[in-house]
Structure 1
Amino acid sequence: MSGDGFSRGEITAIVGFVALAAVIGIGSYRAGVNVAHETGGGAIVTAAAGDTTVNGQTLYASSCGGCHGAQAQGGVGPSLAESAAWSGPDFNAAVLHGQAPGGRVLAPVMPRFAETGLNGEEATPERIEAIHTYVKGLQ
């Protein structure tokens, strides 16, 4: 075959890799959702404006645990031990925009929760703070 395209074997390998990545991603997401349903309790942070409470453990399990592990130990995504020590604004920037301290851009597979929301709802400062508080409590 000429050097102008991919061989049939290369295309098969690429398709296989993409399928495997999709299966791992979906499985990790479902594992996080299952943890959220199994663990109803956890760090509860009272929202600043009103009576509502935000459950950091449930939010973490449904939005983060599938990739970062049930105890933030890492999995598809890295361990969150380092990010537990980040300031609130640094943690917010990472969660909302994929921007780590020092200007480092997080991997493209890290959702930009400012766009996607958390657990189907807006990624408010109170919700992100609840997740950060929960992650800090795991360390």
Structure 2
Amino acid sequence: MSEISNSNERGFSGREIAAAVIFVVLAAVIAYTSYYTGIGMSGGAGAGDMTAAVAQAPVNGESLYASNCAGCHGAGAVGGIGPALLETAAWSPAEFGQAVLHGQAPGGRTLAPVMPRFAESGFGGETATDEQVEAIHSYVKSLQ
């Protein structure tokens, strides 16, 4: 058998080995700092107390009216199963809130039992807020 020799074989040069070592070291440093920066931002060990800020979407009176009121009072608050709401535009915010939340119109008049008491039922399954009631009132006033 003859001995096989390959004259094209060569080893890595010192420069190539140094470049590979530098690459591995830099990759390790980047990985290490990225990992610990991520822990610090996510609330892990040694991190400060950080919470994400969630912006509250503005309350949309038209949308609330459409989903909670229009079925009875009509799309333009002109009436339907329930009465027209155009006169409520002249009510104070407190009067409008009493009617929507508790079924009490100005002058102590109790609204029909079919009128939801939104203080109990809420809007969309969530507790009704003053901001939502004010947004609906503003929308109804805009229909004038």
Q: TM-score range by the shorter chain?
A: 0.5 to 0.7
Quick one: which amino acid aligns to residue 103 of structure 1? Answer: G
Query: Looking at both structures, which has the greater relative contact order when contacts are Cα pairs under 8 Å and sequence separation is at least 6?
Result: 1
Quick one: distance in 2 between partners of 1:71 and 1:128? 17
Tell me which stretches of 4 or more aligned residues in structure 1 moved more than 6 Å: none
Partner of 1:79: 84
Q: Give the CA deviation at 1:84.
A: 1.2
**Consecutive unaligned residues in structure 2, runs of 5 or more:** 1-54
TM-score (norm 2): 0.61
SS of the residue 2:88 aligns to:
helix
2:99 is aligned, of 77, 94, 102, to 94
Larger mean CA deviation between 116-125 and 90-99 belongs to: 116-125
Quick one: distance in 1 between partners of 2:115 and 2:136? 15
Higher strand proportion, which one?
1
Trace 1:1-139 onto structure 2 (pairs within 5 A).
Answer: 51-139=56-144
Quick one: which amino acid aligns to residue 130 of structure 1? Answer: A
The count of residues paired between Structure 1 and Structure 2 equals 90
SS of the residue 1:99 aligns to:
coil
Quick one: which amino acid aligns to residue 131 of structure 2? Answer: E
**Consecutive unaligned residues in structure 1, runs of 5 or more:** 1-49
Q: Give the CA deviation at 1:122.
A: 1.4
Q: Please report the RMSD computed on the Cα atoms of aligned residues, expressed in angstroms.
A: 1.0
